[in-house]
């Protein structure tokens, strides 16, 4: 069975622009002109950034970030 | 009762009988050390009440603080500093409030806030970092040759003042004047009302003079930006511009001064943390967040919009509610070992900058100032301690930070 892959997503209805995710993992998140965050591209998380993605989830004061396992 | 909502209400004078039924955030015991008070209330309430200030509530758990922060239907931001005077239901500035957007409610709040957000993104703030670093070095250089000085008044307080002066385009020599205004607004809540009104009038007058100067001599700063800004194709009213300037001035100075001072107060007493920050510079980001969690300086206030039952408590329209982000950050139900400073705390959803639509606009600026202030301090004074622990004094009211912090440096 191939290894699980992960996808990260920022709920735009919850993000208030604290920028914690962006400062912890700029490889996965980007900010718009107002400082609101969203996942870069499809949100696919390379294997070597899974720990960073978990950190972003665990530091979002608004509980706006989700990390889901994608089965191939 | 409702007839008096716009008028004077009782203040906070007199000793507290019971923190659960008579709390006062200006009481000397709270000012000296509020954490045991909140820990006790978490066991007993966890929503305390007081008849002071015309009636006020205080939830002390992370869960309840979050609930209030997200609930703009039952709680209005029309006044965010508890005082002896509350705006009445018909007080003119609603829903704009006296100092938009902090004092605004939806939907106006959104537009007034969006306009300001681009000036506070990490990218915009990064451009201020070299200036901040230079300023910190300059302040530290001025302490050369002294073994003992006040880290609150000779270092911490000057950093945000000078940044805000630059931001708003005010004369640098007015820094002492701002501090007097800010202290009056935030800490003078039990002053006689006529004296408070004089102070607020003087503050308006000062800001109006700055506005007039910017109209005559436009320049590249936030004041000139506000004078040109539009919402829905209409220029901002003079009251809006003045209110936002007062907000940026007040919210940007005492808060960050407090966070820098409280962090230095902690480090002065914890040599292992000091050594660790010096040895592991990559820990700085995480450490700054932990210091913000443990010593969150800012408590906001809300006014209850209408009578309703809040977890078994009968809240009445016009009651104050103290929204204590510092208490939420010390809640053991939300944070493991909440009372301990763990510089490497990996999971840290602290709410030092609030939650929801009123999240602190200047959080990136505050973080940058705190980080640079600590980096520069530790580079110059890796080893320091409190010169006189008994002489440390803390501000009273909704912003908590050391106002006297004598340190000895080596």
Among candidates B121, B353, B356 on the partner chain, residue whose Cβ is nearest the Cβ of A35: B121
Instruction: Say how many CB pairs under 8 Å bridge A and B.
Output: 55
Q: pLDDT at position B195, please?
A: 82
CB-based contact A19 B357, cutoff 8 Å: no
In this structure, the dihedral spanned by the alpha carbons of residues B180, B182, B184 and B186, taken in order and rounded to 10 degrees, is: -150
Alpha-carbon distance B183 to B176, whole Å? 11
Q: pLDDT at position B1, please?
A: 30
CA distance A1 to chain B (A): 31
Domain that holds residue B322: 2-409
Residue B56 φ/ψ, nearest 5 degrees: -145, 150
Structural domain includes residue A49? yes
Sign of the torsion angle spanned by Cα atoms B373, B322, B359, A63: positive
Among candidates B117, B356, B363 on the partner chain, residue whose Cβ is nearest the Cβ of A34: B117
Structural domain includes residue A59? yes
B120 neighbourhood in chain A, CB within 8 Å: 35
Q: Does A1 score more than 70 pLDDT?
A: no
B70: nearest CA partner in chain A: A62
Domain that holds residue A19: 7-70
Alpha-carbon distance B403 to B275, whole Å? 25
Structural domain includes residue A1? no
- Domain count for chain A: 1
A25 neighbourhood in chain B, CB within 8 Å: none
CB-based contact B347 A22, cutoff 8 Å: no
Pairing of strands A44-45, B56-59: unpaired
Q: pLDDT at position A64, please?
A: 98
CB-based contact B359 A17, cutoff 8 Å: yes
CB-based contact A16 B356, cutoff 8 Å: yes
Structural domain includes residue A45? yes
CB-based contact A35 B117, cutoff 8 Å: yes
CA distance B95 to chain A (A): 21
CATH number for A55: 3.30.70.20
Q: Name B253's Cβ contacts closer than 8 Å, sequence gap at least 6.
A: B157, B160, B161, B164, B178, B179, B182
CB-based contact A61 B350, cutoff 8 Å: yes
CA distance B289 to chain A (A): 10
CB-based contact A33 B120, cutoff 8 Å: no
Exposed/middle/buried for residue B308 (C-beta within 10 Å: 0-12, 13-18, 19+): middle
CB-based contact B122 A16, cutoff 8 Å: no
A58: nearest CA partner in chain B: B347
Confidence band, pLDDT 50/70/90 cuts, at residue A2: low
- Domain count for chain B: 1
User: A18, A52, A62: best mutation site toward chain B, by most B Cβ within 10 Å?
Assistant: A18
CB-based contact A16 B350, cutoff 8 Å: no
Regions of chain B short of the pLDDT cut 50? 1-5, 92
User: B346, B351, B360, B368: best mutation site toward chain A, by most A Cβ within 10 Å?
Assistant: B346
Structural domain includes residue A2? no
B349 neighbourhood in chain A, CB within 8 Å: 58-61, 63
Would you list which residues of chain B are within 8 Å, Cβ to Cβ, of chain A? 114, 117-118, 120-123, 285, 289, 346-351, 353, 355-357, 359, 363-364
CATH number for B92: 1.10.630.10
Alpha-carbon distance B260 to B151, whole Å? 9
Percent of chain A with pLDDT over 90: 90
CB-based contact B122 A63, cutoff 8 Å: no
pLDDT in tens, B254-281: 999 999 999 999 999 999 999 999 899 9
CA distance A51 to chain B (A): 11
Alpha-carbon distance B156 to B370, whole Å? 9
CB-based contact A61 B347, cutoff 8 Å: no
The pTM is what?
0.94
pLDDT in tens, A4-31: 799 999 999 999 999 999 999 999 999 9
Alpha-carbon distance B86 to B193, whole Å? 12
CA distance B258 to chain A (A): 20
């Amino acid at each position: 069975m191939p290894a699980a892959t992960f996808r990260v997503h920022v709920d735009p209805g919850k993000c208030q622009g604290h920028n914690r995710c962006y400062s912890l993992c700029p490889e996965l998140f980007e900010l718009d002109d107002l400082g609101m965050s969203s996942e870069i591209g499809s949100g696919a998380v390379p294997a070597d950034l899974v720990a960073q993605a978990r950190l972003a989830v665990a530091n979002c004061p608004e509980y706006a970030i989700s990390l889901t396992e994608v089965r191939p | 009762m409702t007839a008096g909502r716009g008028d004077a209400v009782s203040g906070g004078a007199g000793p507290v009988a019971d923190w659960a039924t008579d709390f006062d955030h200006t009481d000397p015991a709270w000012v000296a050390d509020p954490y045991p008070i909140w820990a006790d209330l978490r066991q007993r309430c966890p929503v305390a009440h007081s008849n002071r200030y015309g009636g006020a509530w205080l939830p002390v758990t992370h869960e309840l603080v979050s609930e209030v922060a997200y609930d703009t239907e039952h709680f209005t931001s029309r006044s965010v500093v508890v005082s002896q005077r509350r705006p009445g239901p018909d007080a003119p500035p609603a829903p704009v409030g006296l100092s938009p957007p902090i004092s605004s409610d939806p939907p106006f709040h959104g537009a007034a806030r969006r306009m300001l957000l681009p000036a506070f993104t990490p990218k915009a703030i990064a451009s201020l970092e070299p200036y901040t670093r230079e300023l910190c070095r300059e302040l530290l250089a001025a302490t050369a040759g002294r073994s003992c000085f006040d880290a609150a008044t000779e270092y911490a307080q000057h950093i945000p003042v000078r940044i805000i002066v630059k931001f708003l385009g005010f004369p640098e020599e007015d820094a002492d004047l701002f501090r007097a205004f800010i202290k009056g607004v935030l800490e003078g809540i039990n002053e006689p009302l006529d004296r408070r009104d004089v102070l607020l009038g003087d503050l308006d007058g000062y800001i109006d003079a700055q506005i007039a100067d910017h109209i005559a001599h436009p320049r590249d700063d936030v004041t000139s930006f506000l004078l040109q800004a539009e919402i829905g194709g209409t220029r901002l009213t003079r009251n809006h511009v003045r209110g936002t300037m007062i907000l940026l001035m007040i919210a940007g100075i005492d808060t960050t001064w407090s966070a820098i001072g409280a962090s230095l107060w902690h480090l002065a007493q914890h040599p292992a943390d000091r050594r660790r920050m010096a040895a592991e510079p990559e820990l700085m980001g995480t450490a700054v967040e932990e210091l913000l969690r443990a010593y969150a300086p800012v408590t906001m206030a809300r006014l209850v919009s209408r009578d309703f039952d809040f977890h078994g408590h009968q809240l009445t329209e016009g009651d104050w509610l103290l929204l204590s982000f510092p208490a939420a950050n010390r809640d053991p139900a939300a944070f493991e070992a909440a009372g301990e400073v763990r510089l490497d705390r990996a999971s840290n959803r602290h709410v030092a900058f609030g939650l929801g639509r009123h999240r602190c606009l200047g959080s990136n600026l505050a973080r940058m100032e705190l980080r640079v202030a600590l980096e520069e301090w530790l580079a110059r004074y890796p080893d320091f301690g409190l010169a006189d622990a008994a002489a440390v004094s803390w501000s009273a009211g909704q912003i908590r930070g050391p106002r006297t912090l004598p340190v000895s440096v080596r």
